Structure 1
Amino acid sequence: MTRLFLRFYLGVILILFVAWCIQAYVFRATTESDNIKVIEVALGGGTLSARDDLLRGGRENFDRTLRDIQTRFAYPVNIVERSARPMSPRMKARIDAGESVLHRSSMIAAITGTNLLVELGPLPQFAGPSRNDVLLGLGSVLLLAAGAIAFLLRPIARQLRNVESAALAIAGGDLSARISQGKRRRELPIVGAFNTMADRVESLLRSQKELLQAVSHELRTPLARIKFATELVRSADDDLKREQRIDSIDDATDKLDVLVGELLDYTRYDAQTENSRREIVALEDVIGEAIELHSPLHPHIQFRAINCSGSLQTYAYRAGLLRAVGNLVSNAGKYAASQVQVSTSQDEQQWCIHVEDDGDGISEADREAVFEPFKRLAAGSQPGTGLGLALVRRISQRLGGDVGVADSSLGGARFTLTIPQATPR
């Protein structure tokens, strides 16, 4: 990460340096050359006039003529040796052709027939910055920009290094690694997103590990029954005993099949991976279908729906919602003494579906545990896999809601499934 930051910063410095070079070239090639032409046109006549005056006065009178010329100009006029003013070949050619040229800050012209030059200057400086001033100022601005960029990138680079360190730690097996978030300085959105992702990954892996341990335990029982019954089949001494033991194998196989099916449903309804299409769902239809599916399994129990208006609708996965309500209705039927009641209500921006029974209820200490996978409070009294209520919670969270349990006015348990009153997006 440090290498990436250095490469990026060096690239920025290179861009600024190229910009400075381009600006220097443009200033020198255009602005300065144009100014030189203007100066030579404006002052070239005066220089040539001074040269002609010196030639008319004769070489023996150069000193007296020079004093007279100096009185006409506001800046120095001198006679210098040509060797004292080194010039480019192009400038020498112009001097030899009788032109007046700007040499540094002075105007010069050759005195014909001699190795002398007449020099006017140094000339007064024009108002405004010189070439060196402009280049120095521009360079200072670019250096300031480079420093500001380094200052602004420093916290970003530090946070990216933290992201890299945390990612490498997680890749090495430390799932608890997180990026520390400061309270005073502004953090990048990637920091919060990364920590959320890490929490999600750790939660999923922990959940999968716990589920795998629970599945191993739950699968062992029917498999042991099948193995034991198979051994008894071999030792059966008549057809009746053989048939009874084969029936026991079938029963254990059926339970194993139900368990596998529940496991598949539980994993399929993971809160972030279920991708069924959402649609407008009428709660009255879902509740009616759930009662119709599960009431025949409990003929001694009276099922009824109250306060279920046909106008109550939500935008959800219909199959998932039906499965959640159906599991609550089926669970209530198992533990009810004589009746199960399903009702609806509204809580702020949520619909609430209440499933109540008149059974023994659930103690307050166990009300959270019943939603854990394979957690069964009465494991021997009722059939089941212990995944029904865990699946209800997973589906409810997938729908953007939740599920809870409390005491019922009927005397048993009251499960409440909440789902948002969402609209199609």
Structure 2
Amino acid sequence: MTRLFIQFYCGVLLILFIAWVIQAYVFRGTTEAQNISVIETALSGGALLARDEIAAGGIENFDETLAGIQARFAYPVSVVERSERSLSETLFQRLDEGEAVLAGESIYVSLTGTSRLVELGPLPRFVGPRRSDILLGLTSVFLLVALAIAILLRPIARQFRSVERTALAIAEGDFAARIEGTGRRRSLPIVGAFNTMADRVESLLRSQKELLQAVSHEFRTPLARIKFATELVRSADTDEKRNQRVDSIDDATDKLDDLVAELLNYTRTDEQSQVAPRERVSAKGIAMDAIGQHAPLHPDIEFEPPAGAEEIDLVTYEAGLVRALGNLVGNAGKYAQSKVRVTISNGSNRVQFLVEDDGPGIPPADRRFIFEPFHRLSGDSQPGTGLGLALVRRICRRLGGSVTVDDSPLGGAAFKIDLPQSLLPMPRHSMVPGRAAGR
């Protein structure tokens, strides 16, 4: 990170230096050229007049003529040989063409018919900054800007070094490492984003570790049943016993298959490789889809659809919401004695789905645990893997909402899903619908 900072700083200094050189070149090229042209135009008349007077006075009156001219001019006037002045070929060519040229601090004209030049100067110095003063000023500005950039970049570089150290610590296995606060200085947005990412990664790893431990425990039961039944198959002395034990193996295999399917659905809700599509859907349509999936599985149960919710729409991930609500409706159908009711309400830009049944309900002591993976109520004889409600909670969180449980006026449990009516922006998660699971 320090090397990156040095490279960046040197790059900025190089840009400033190039700008400084260009500025000096432009000033020298344009300003001096314009000044020379102005001086030559202003003083060429006097120089040409002096030349004409010297030529008209003749050689015999040269000293008198020159003395008279010097008396009228405010600066020295002299006649010199061409060889005494080091002028460029371009300037000599202009002199031969009869022009007055400025060279150094004097202006020259050619004395016609001779090898001499009429020199006016040194001329008075113009009021204004000298070239050295301008270069010194530009150099001072350059150094001041360089110092200011170094001061401004120092806290930024310090924060980036903190990001680098924390990232290396996480890469080495310290998932609790975070970027510490920077005191009074305002932290870069990347610092907060990095810490949020680190919290998310640590939470995911902890969740996966807990899930792996739970899965290992849940796999033991059907695997043990399969192993035990396989041993009994070998010792079966009749076809009837052998078929019963093969059926037991089939049942355990089906449970393993259901467990793997639910586990895949559960873990897919945390995938972040795709952006889940959001769309405007009818809340009542979602509820009717969930009821339509599970009502045929429980023909003895009355499923009461939501009434008066035709105008309630929401923008969300439809497949995920259908999956979550379907799990609740399926659970209610399994535990209800005669009736399941679904109601929908909205307010304050939120939508609530309430699924009630007239079954045995859920004891208050178990309500804080039922949304954990593989947690099932004691004495629960209904089929299931224990991932259904955990999946509902995970989907609701991905949709920006929550799920809670309470007592129902029907006598059983009442599960409520509370969601924002407009899910913007959509979380970067991919949720794949699957089969419903039990409590």
SS at match of 2:178: coil
Q: What letter matches 1:15 in structure 2?
A: I
Identity across aligned pairs (percent)?
Answer: 62
Confirm or deny: 8 A CA contact 1:284 1:309 kept in the other structure: yes
> Which shows bigger deviation, 328-337 or 294-303?
294-303
Equivalent position SS for 1:124: coil
1:342-381 map, 5 Å: 342-378=342-378, 380-381=380-381
Q: Write the distance in 1 (CA, Å) between the matches of 2:134 and 2:297.
A: 93
Residues 24-62 of structure 1: CA distance to partner in whole angstroms, max 9, x if unpaired? 233333432343354355446757888987xx8999x98
Correspondence list, 1:287-302, <5 A: 287-295=287-295, 297-298=297-298, 301-302=301-302
Query: How far, CA to CA, are the matches of 1:360 and 1:224 in structure 2?
Result: 31
Q: Distance in 1 between matches of 2:19 and 2:329?
A: 74
| Residue 246 of structure 1: aligned partner | 246
Note if contact 2:279-2:318 (Cα within 8 Å) is conserved in structure 1. Answer: yes
Q: Distance in 1 between matches of 2:95 and 2:309?
A: 110
Gaps of 5+ in 2: 426-439
Letter in 2 for 1:13: L
1:233–1:246 Cα contact (<8 Å) kept: yes
Instruction: Give, as a single letter, the amino acid of the residue that structure 2 aligns with 1:405.
Output: V
Matched position secondary structure for 1:371: coil
Structure 1 unmatched ranges of 5 or more: none
Q: Which residue of 2 aligns with 1:236?
A: 236
For the residue of structure 2 that corresponds to 1:370, the secondary structure is coil
| Amino acid of the structure 2 residue aligned with 1:254 | D
8 Å CA contact retained: 2:338, 2:358: yes
Q: Which residue of 1 aligns with 2:397?
A: 397
Partner of 2:326: 326
Question: How many angstroms apart in 2 are the aligned matches of 1:294 and 1:49?
Answer: 115
Q: Deviations over 1:128-181 (max 9, x none)?
A: 333333333333334333333333333333333333222222222222233334
Contact 2:400–2:423 under 8 Å retained in 1:
no
Q: Aligned residues, how many? A: 423
Between 1:327-336 and 1:36-45, the stretch displaced more is: 36-45
Question: What letter is aligned with 1:165?
Answer: R
Q: What TM-score results when the alignment is normalised by the length of structure 2?
A: 0.78
Q: Distance in 2 between matches of 1:28 and 1:202?
A: 62
Rounded Cα–Cα distance in structure 1 between residues aligned with 2:232 and 2:332: 37
- Structure 2 equivalent of residue 9 of structure 1: 9
Report the 3-state secondary structure (helix = DSSP H, G, I; strand = E; otherwise coil) of the residue aligned with 1:258: helix
Could you tell me how far apart the structure 2 residues matched to 1:39 and 1:417 are? Answer: 88
Report matched runs for 1:203-218 at 5 Å: 203-218=203-218
**Structure 2 counterpart of 1:27, one-letter code:** F
Q: Relative contact order (alpha carbons < 8 A, sep ≥ 6): 1 or 2 greater?
A: 2
Change (3 A) 1:409 1:92: closer
239-248 or 415-424, larger mean C-alpha shift:
415-424
Q: Following TM superposition, by how much is the alpha carbon of 1:13 offset from its aligned partner in structure 2, in angstroms?
A: 1.9
1:368 partner letter = R
Q: C-alpha separation between the residues in 1 aligned to 2:94 and 2:349?
A: 93
Superposed CA RMSD in Å reads 4.1
The SS at the match of 1:369 is coil
Contact kept in structure 2, 1:272 and 1:398, CA below 8 Å: no
Conservation of the 8 A alpha-carbon contact between 1:349 and 1:420: yes
Alignment partners' CA distance in 2, 1:288 and 1:99: 101
CA distance in 2, matches of 1:45, 1:312: 93
